[in-house]
Amino acid sequence: MFVPCLVRSMHGSEVRALSLGHPLLDDYLAFVGARARVNTWLATAYDLKVFFTVVGKEPAQVTAPDVFTFLKAQRAPRLGERVVRLEDGESGLAARTIARRLSSVSGLFAYLCARGDVGVVRVEVWYGDPVTRHYRDLWIVHLDEHGLCTAFEEWPFWPEKGPYPG
């Protein structure tokens, strides 16, 4: 089980590096740190720490259900069922906090795809004549150094029902 540990390398009051203890995550944080303001960099590192603490998996093992589990955990009440936010009457974290955390996670996986060792394909699939089933899938393909597939994941989405209808 992967447990991230956020470490800041400082020089005086300046943040020089951020690490979560995993090579892929640390590479991504270096990428973000070279392009973003310090507060964005710190927020991204913290968001990824929270995500991987909840999920408890290596980045390459994360699946769509893990993301939905994370989302559910972020929406769960923090201080009891009777405590709600004044702005919207909901429990759990603010919608903008959840959106930022999901953006950080999305940015990580987009970066991993752009690196070239993971590919993502969006596929529309229709079954039957006439069509009786329709899926919109994401295929996650892990590639080796020769571009050959080493692992494949399918993240199905039923447009009329949402992800993984039970």
- Report the chain's mean pLDDT, rounded to a whole number: 84
Q: How wide is the angle at C-alpha 37 spanned by C-alphas 44 and 8, nearest 5°?
A: 55
Q: Positive or negative CA dihedral for 103, 106, 110, 111? A: positive
pLDDT tens-digit series, residues 103-147: 999 999 888 878 877 777 778 878 888 888 777 787 778 777 777
Q: Which domain holds residue 151?
A: 117-166
Backbone angles phi, psi at 159, to 5 degrees: -50, -35
22 pLDDT higher than 90: yes
Q: Do 104 and 130 lie in a common domain?
A: no
Q: Do 125 and 97 lie in a common domain?
A: no
Q: pTM (2 decimals)?
A: 0.71
* Torsion angle, alpha carbons of 6, 22, 76, 101, to 10: 80
Q: Do 40 and 17 lie in a common domain?
A: yes
DSSP class of 59: G
Q: Do 18 and 7 lie in a common domain?
A: yes
- The CA distance from 145 to 45, in Å, is 28
> How many domains, the chain?
2
**Count H helices, E strands: the chain?**
4, 7
41 pLDDT higher than 90: yes
Q: Do 157 and 108 lie in a common domain?
A: no
Q: Do 69 and 131 lie in a common domain?
A: no
pLDDT tens-digit series, residues 42-93: 999 999 999 999 999 988 888 888 898 999 899 888 766 666 666 666 777 8
Q: Do 108 and 130 lie in a common domain?
A: no
Residue 52 CA to its chain's centroid (Å):
9
The token pair at 41 is 């960099």
The CATH code of the domain that includes 42 is: 1.10.150
Q: Do 92 and 136 lie in a common domain?
A: no
Give the contacts of 122 (CB within 8 A, at least 6 positions apart): 136, 137, 138, 139
